[in-house]
Amino acid sequence: MTFNRTERVLGFMVGGIFIAAFLCIAAMIVMWLTAPSVQGSMPWPVVMAVPLVGLPIGMVLVFVLLGITWSKRARENRSTR
């Protein structure tokens, strides 16, 4: 089974979004443990918003990637019969 460019791009986008979101979650945990009084100052509001936006977008992209992969496999199975 070969992967086309769209599947590779979607795979890397999903990975990048999830890694960025989890790094921001780790940064928020460290910030809350070390200096909880700096929550309102920049860049922490942006860091806190990245997982709120990134994780849902990442899940949508996972479902899109699954749909593309399943439709491609179904097409290949239909053509081999």
Question: 64-77, pLDDT tens digit by residue?
Answer: 999 998 998 888 88
Give one DSSP letter per residue of 17-74, joined into a string: HHHHHHHHHHHHHHHHHH-GGGTTSTTHHHHHHHHHHHHHHHHHHHHHHHHHHHHHHH
pLDDT for the residue 4: 85
CB < 8 Å & 24+ apart, contacts of 5-12: 6/68, 7/65, 7/68, 7/69, 7/72, 10/61, 10/64, 10/65, 10/68, 11/65
pLDDT for the residue 1: 57
pLDDT level of residue 20 (50, 70, 90 thresholds): very high
More confident residue, 9 or 36: 9
Q: In the predicted model, what is the mean pLDDT of the chain?
A: 89
pLDDT for the residue 2: 64
